[in-house]
Amino acid sequence: MSIFNVELKKVVDDSYEIEIGFELEDKLITDLKNGLAGNIQKFAVVTDSIVKELYADKILAKLTEAGYHADLFVFEAGEKQKTRETKEMVEDAMLAKGYRRDCCIIAVGGGVVTDLAGFVAGTFGRGVPFINYATTLLAAADASVGGKTAVDTPLATNLIGLFNQPEKVYIDIATWKTLPKRQLSSGLAETIKHACIASREFFDYLKEHIEDIQNINQEACEHIADENCRVKYQVVMKDERESGLREILNLGHTVGRAIETVSDYKLLHGEALSIGMVAEVKLANKLGYMTKEEGEEVISLLKQANLPVAIPKYIDREALVKKLYTDKKVKNGQLRFVVQKGIGDIVEFSEGVFATPVEESEARIIIYDM
Amino acid sequence: MSIFNVELKKVVDDSYEIEIGFELEDKLITDLKNGLAGNIQKFAVVTDSIVKELYADKILAKLTEAGYHADLFVFEAGEKQKTRETKEMVEDAMLAKGYRRDCCIIAVGGGVVTDLAGFVAGTFGRGVPFINYATTLLAAADASVGGKTAVDTPLATNLIGLFNQPEKVYIDIATWKTLPKRQLSSGLAETIKHACIASREFFDYLKEHIEDIQNINQEACEHIADENCRVKYQVVMKDERESGLREILNLGHTVGRAIETVSDYKLLHGEALSIGMVAEVKLANKLGYMTKEEGEEVISLLKQANLPVAIPKYIDREALVKKLYTDKKVKNGQLRFVVQKGIGDIVEFSEGVFATPVEESEARIIIYDM
């Protein structure tokens, strides 16, 4: 018998920049010229069927014009396309066009595109660099910090994937102008969630500026993009592997994800989240972590953002309760809910645990009451 | 415009142990009890249809007996199963049985199993730990150091995958007794390659002990397992991301991989490698890096190991040349071959480059001459 020791201790630097601005296509090219992706000359631009014509075509043209070898890889738009099949399709198309290890992926789109393209990049040739060019508020709020990439499978959401950090993220506010109003509101839900988690000041800013944001006022939009990054970064930095603190980002997501599924994705992610946040506000009220007034402030801001704050009639409430309490996370008949304390703070229940267990009967009362 | 800096610099320790011994099943259980996989209580044992009955069933029983929750995930044996489809199948079966992030994968088998299971582990729940229990000489020689995991696709071999390090590797020599003779010889090809790369002394040991190894003499087998790890480790340690030095591990693989494909996998990997090494020995002879006698020594050792040293009649030589020179790696009509210098040394052509470009016409002469 013998033991052989493989020593693999090393310093890894995955740091990157998020650039927030207006029309950043030329900046992307300048950055590439200045070595953002090293010596790489081949760029796979991954996008969806909607963003293609809006922005990806333009970026492709600029890459080609700058002398780079670049191709477009387009998949059908929509949350339902975030699958292993789409990943395979992109991989095969890249391989067929001769892409190997010496390429860089540029994801142009919203969260579905950046999640999927980041995952493709992580396993293509055992890992090639990638850049996110985020074109939605939701991607700005959710997908630019944290390195989470994944696809969905019939049995689980976001469970097949990787932690993978981009070379750089661009948040191009100008692209929000072409976002359908519903999508913009959907992104605002994550923004409001971030404020509820971490900053009363940011919450008040939103109350005051929600109309500016809806009108894509550059200053207001840049401010919220920046705050979104800041809150998420604070949380993620302290807990890169989602062991404890990161759980607070799930505020509103317990009911939110369930309702999103039960609606068969008729509700957008942010819309489902908004309803989930109302459920969790009601829970926080009940548990005494939030006053009735604070709860109403949250609900009122969600309404201002044109988000739903009640469970739609077409949702079977019992199916929703069942969905929640057959989840793998249910332990001893209890499901854990992240609960906020007032606005801008989170209850820490015990060291490293930010969620409280809730019985099915309690959850049922709240849900039937919405 | 504003820039947000995401700082992600950290020390990562992926170190692990390779334990080489005889019947290590109980040792695995003891290690788990002693915290090898932390507090994890759920183990997904991934194996193939041949190894299942030979070893994986036994390991599953021992895990269950020790009080762990464990299930077997079995796929059809064979190189052709190392696909994204098999990966999906394992993932879906794990999800269906309730496996989530709190599990550990134990790969029991040869290189196909460890490559595939290591890749599954890398993306399941964005990464769960895994342990390799290697049951073939090839896995011992090739798959225990380096962290390479991957699947094949119709358009590319090993191009979709990850660098992912196991928690521990067990090389159980006792399992080699059930290896078909062809498989054992196939594993010896990688072993001989390692000797040719890095150690005249190891090469001489193999010449003397090849029969002991074929008879699974414990001491001789442990010695070669150890030397295999040592050589591979030396190379991989110096170059974890395969930018330069690691290229020398491709000795024999340029022709080897091409012939493996052209044979439609009728040749085992090590058999194809053996033929590839003969081709590269002839090239080294021609270029003056190896004497005729040294070349014959290598060929003679391959023969001793019952490995083929000529291109089988059923292989279309022109198809082989074509396969080689339509490879993506061909640049300006030249393909790069790693070349050894004498035995146990490698020619360094220029800093960080260990392969020499060869014209199609030169390669054709060598191939038609075999």
> What digits encode the pLDDT tens for the residues A112-157?
999 999 999 999 999 999 999 999 998 887 777 889 999 999 988 8
Instruction: Say if the Cβ atoms of B1 and A22 lie within 8 Å.
Output: yes
Instruction: Say if the Cβ atoms of B18 and A1 lie within 8 Å.
Output: no
- Considering only CB atoms, B161 lies closest to which of A2, A16, A126, namely A126
pLDDT tens, residue by residue, A234-263: 887 776 555 577 888 889 999 999 999 999
Residue A345 has a pLDDT of 86
- Considering only CB atoms, A2 lies closest to which of B7, B155, B222, namely B222
Q: How many CB pairs under 8 A join A and B?
A: 175
For residue B161, which residues of chain A lie inside 8 Å, CB to CB? 123, 126
The residue count for chain B: 370
**What mean pLDDT comes out for the span A187-198?**
94
For residue A127, which residues of chain B lie inside 8 Å, CB to CB? 162-163
For residue A9, which residues of chain B lie inside 8 Å, CB to CB? 11-15
Instruction: Write the DSSP string, B56-110.
Output: IHHHHHHHHHTT-EEEEEEE--SGGG-BHHHHHHHHHHHHHTT--SSEEEEEEES
Does pLDDT of A348 surpass 80?
A: no
**What mean pLDDT comes out for the span B255-281?**
93
Does pLDDT of A89 surpass 70?
A: yes
pLDDT tens, residue by residue, B169-186: 999 999 999 999 999 999
pLDDT tens, residue by residue, A18-37: 999 999 999 999 999 999 99
B355 or B149, which is more confident? B149
Residue A360 has a pLDDT of 92
Does pLDDT of B208 surpass 60?
A: yes
Does pLDDT of B251 surpass 80?
A: yes
For residue B88, which residues of chain A lie inside 8 Å, CB to CB? 84, 153
State chain B's mean pLDDT as an integer.
Answer: 92
Closest chain B residue to A229, measured at CA: B4
B9-13 and A9-13: which strand pairing? antiparallel
Instruction: Say if the Cβ atoms of B240 and A127 lie within 8 Å.
Output: no
Residue A284 has a pLDDT of 93
Measured distance CA(B297)–CA(B95) in Å, rounded: 52
Measured distance CA(A255)–CA(A276) in Å, rounded: 5
Measured distance CA(B191)–CA(B184) in Å, rounded: 11
Instruction: Say if the Cβ atoms of B233 and A6 lie within 8 Å.
Output: yes
Residue in B96, B88, B91, B142 with CA at minimum distance from that of residue B115:
B142
pLDDT tens, residue by residue, B66-84: 999 999 999 999 888 999 9
Per the listing, tokens 């994944």 go with: A150
Instruction: Say if the Cβ atoms of A21 and B14 lie within 8 Å.
Output: no
**What mean pLDDT comes out for the span A186-215?**
95
User: Which of A10, A20, A123, A158 to mutate against chain B (most B CBs within 10 Å)?
Assistant: A123
Q: Residue B114, exposed/middle/buried by CB under 10 A (0-12, 13-18, 19+)?
A: buried
Residue B49 has a pLDDT of 98
Q: A2-11, A168-177, B171-180, B296-305 — which is least confidently predicted?
A: A2-11
- Considering only CB atoms, A95 lies closest to which of B10, B156, B162, namely B156
**What mean pLDDT comes out for the span B347-368?**
84
Residue A138 has a pLDDT of 84
Q: Enumerate the β-bridge partners of residue A74.
A: A47
- Given a contact cutoff of 8 angstroms between Cβ atoms, the answer to whether A155 and A88 are in contact is no
Residue B265 has a pLDDT of 86
For residue B22, which residues of chain A lie inside 8 Å, CB to CB? 1
Residue A243 has a pLDDT of 59
- Please give the angle made by the CA atoms of B203, B206 and B208, to the nearest 5 degrees: 115
Residue in A250, A147, A245 with CA at minimum distance from that of residue A190:
A250
pLDDT tens, residue by residue, B273-287: 999 999 999 999 999
Residue B51 has a pLDDT of 97
B125's torsion region: left (phi>0), alpha (psi -120 to 50) or beta? left
Does pLDDT of B149 surpass 80?
A: yes
Residue A140 has a pLDDT of 83
- Please give the angle made by the CA atoms of B209, B212 and B217, to the nearest 5 degrees: 130
Instruction: Say if the Cβ atoms of A8 and B14 lie within 8 Å.
Output: yes
Residue B242 has a pLDDT of 55
Instruction: Say if the Cβ atoms of A1 and B88 lie within 8 Å.
Output: no
Instruction: Say if the Cβ atoms of B20 and A4 lie within 8 Å.
Output: yes
Residue A242 has a pLDDT of 55
pLDDT tens, residue by residue, A212-225: 999 999 999 999 99
- Considering only CB atoms, A155 lies closest to which of B4, B92, B150, namely B92
Q: B100-109, B255-264, B319-328, B340-349 — which is least confidently predicted?
A: B340-349
Instruction: Say if the Cβ atoms of B12 and A13 lie within 8 Å.
Output: no
Chain A nearest CA to B280, separation (Å): 25
pLDDT tens, residue by residue, A56-72: 999 999 999 999 999 99
State chain A's mean pLDDT as an integer.
Answer: 92
Q: For residue A331, what pLDDT band results from cuts at 50, 70 and 90?
A: confident
pLDDT tens, residue by residue, B302-317: 999 999 999 999 999 9
Chain A nearest CA to B288, separation (Å): 32
CA dihedral A299, A303, A305, A311 (to 10 degrees): 90
Residue in B290, B286, B263 with CA at minimum distance from that of residue B274:
B263
Instruction: Say if the Cβ atoms of A126 and B145 lie within 8 Å.
Output: no
Residue B92 has a pLDDT of 97
